[in-house]
Every structure is written in structure tokens, then in C-alpha cells.
């Protein structure tokens, strides 16, 4: 048995610069890995994918699972047990991180090959901190910086594909994206509860509350004031649309 750590990715900022002929979006983004991870246990003598998932969204355990697709990409067979800690539908690249862990275990593939599994997989395979461009396959490694963060996780997710469809529809209607994350307005269009949550958090914590990728996870740079020393790094707050889980974390360097 081999244990693998699949670290979540955080999208620090996200600009959409165009639409490609293949239907994918051109991006310019800074991404970082953080100290929140799924755990994968690989049995090289078996052939299965099992998921222990504490979240409400279902993760497939058949050939459609991104880990099964990653195994096919590297032409390997293994039994893989995934213990999920990264929220599903939270914009933290949990599935991409799991696939990237398999790619690294198998010796790695090119960014272009990793892109066939998903736009976040090339960065998740690299890890650390990077400028991400194109559809996710153009990576420029950046110097690692320690950045304490507080994640804020609603009890609902946002489907990434729906978010990009909403982006295209809004752009077709004349809307022009602005701000640090060009997907914030589309994500709030897909999931109105997210808009109410962001507005409430910004009224409570200030304008520094940001959406991570397509959401639904939000984050604040630094640690939230008011929590006494020694209290748990995870705590719940009742928001306007249900319970919000606060989680202190930090950025992490690329895997050695």
C-alpha cells in the first residue's frame, strides 16, 4: 500500500481573457496549494476506485471518476481508496488534486496531457505557486510564499460547468467582468445563496472576502480576528443561508 497526499488548490485571482475555438476559456490566474488535502491509498495489486466522502455531493466510483481516468491516461492499474477532506463543488480542485496525485505517483505527464483530465490538473500536478495561463496548461512556477488563510465553506456547492455557461451567457448579454475573480458574478447567478452569503460576509469581515475559483468556497487572507488562542482551527458560524464552516490553513510548497 502506498499513501498519497492530494493538496487542494486555491485560486488567488482569476481573469478570463478569451474563448478558444475548442470551447475552452483562456485564463490568467495565480494558483497555490494549501494545507488541506485528500488522502489516497494505492494498492498496486488491485483494480478499483473507492471514495469515502463526508460531503453531500456524490463522487462516482466507476470509470467516470477522475482518478480512474488518470490511471487510464498513464496506462496503470491499481486499487485506489480516496478519503475526501476537500469539499466537493467548493472550487478547491479536489478531484483535480486526486488525479494529479496519481499522475505524480506514475512519474508525471506533460501539462498538455494533464489538461485532458481537467483545467486544474496541470497546476495540481505541479503544486506550490504558479501563474496559470491558457486553458490551464501554461504554467510559470513562482517563488513560494507563506500566506496564512481562512477558508469559509458554505453547505452548498457550485457546479463549475454551469458557472462557465453562465459566464458565456452574461458576456453574450453585454456584461463585462471586473474585479479579482471574473467568475464571481456568474457563480452567484448559478447559486443565489452564494450572493447573499458573500454580501453578508463582506459586511461582517470587510471587502477582503474573496471567492475561490468558481466557488462555493470563500477565503480571507490572514486569520479572522476574534478567535481566542488555543481554540480549534475549525469552527461554525450561522450565516444567512445556513451554517458556514471556517477553517484556518496556509499555503504549501510544491511536493518534493
Q: Which residues belong to the active site?
A: 9, 120
Convert 226-244 to b/e letters by CB count within 10 Å (16 or more is b).
Answer: eeeeeeeeeeeeebebeeb
Strand partners, 94: none
154 DSSP assignment? -
Quick one: three-class SS letters along 190-223? HCHHHHHHHHHHHHHHCCCCEECCCCCCEEEECC
Interaxial angle between packed helices 94-105 and 66-73, expressed in degrees from 0 to 180 and rounded to the nearest 10 = 30
Nearest 5°: phi and psi at 96? -65, -40
Report the SS3 class of residue 243. strand
Residue 127 buriedness (CB in 10 A; 0-12 / 13-18 / 19+): buried
Strand partners, 141: 130
Distance CA 77, CA 249 (A): 34
Grid cell of 199 as nine digits = 454580501
Amino acid at each position: 500500500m502506498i499513501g498519497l497526499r492530494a493538496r487542494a488548490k486555491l485560486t488567488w485571482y482569476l481573469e478570463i481573457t478569451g474563448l478558444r475555438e475548442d470551447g475552452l476559456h483562456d485564463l490568467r490566474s495565480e494558483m497555490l496549494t494549501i494545507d488541506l488535502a485528500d488522502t489516497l491509498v494505492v494498492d498496486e495489486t488491485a483494480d478499483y476506485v473507492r471514495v469515502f466522502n463526508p460531503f453531500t455531493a456524490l463522487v462516482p466510483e466507476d470509470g467516470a471518476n477522475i482518478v480512474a481516468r488518470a490511471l487510464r491516461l498513464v496506462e496503470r492499474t491499481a486499487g485506489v481508496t480516496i478519503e475526501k477532506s476537500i469539499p466537493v463543488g467548493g472550487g478547491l480542485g479536489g478531484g483535480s488534486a486526486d488525479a494529479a496525485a496519481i499522475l505524480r505517483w506514475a512519474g508525471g505527464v506533460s501539462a498538455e496531457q494533464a489538461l485532458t483530465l481537467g483545467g486544474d490538473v496541470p497546476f495540481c500536478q505541479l503544486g506550490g505557486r504558479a501563474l496559470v495561463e491558457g486553458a490551464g496548461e501554461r504554467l510559470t512556477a513562482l517563488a513560494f510564499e507563506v500566506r496564512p488563510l481562512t477558508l469559509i465553506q458554505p453547505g452548498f456547492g457550485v457546479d463549475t460547468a454551469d458557472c462557465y455557461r453562465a459566464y458565456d451567457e452574461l458576456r453574450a448579454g453585454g456584461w463585462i467582468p471586473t474585479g479579482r475573480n471574473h467568475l464571481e458574478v456568474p457563480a452567484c447567478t448559478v447559486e443565489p445563496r452564494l450572493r447573499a452569503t458573500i454580501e453578508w460576509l463582506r459586511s461582517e469581515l470587510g471587502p477582503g472576502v474573496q471567492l475561490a475559483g468558481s466557488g462555493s468556497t470563500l477565503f480571507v487572507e490572514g486569520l479572522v480576528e476574534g478567535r481566542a488562542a488555543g481554540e480549534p482551527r475549525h469552527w461554525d458560524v450561522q450565516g444567512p443561508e445556513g451554517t458556514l464552516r471556517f477553517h484556518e490553513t496556509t499555503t504549501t510548497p510544491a511536493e518534493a
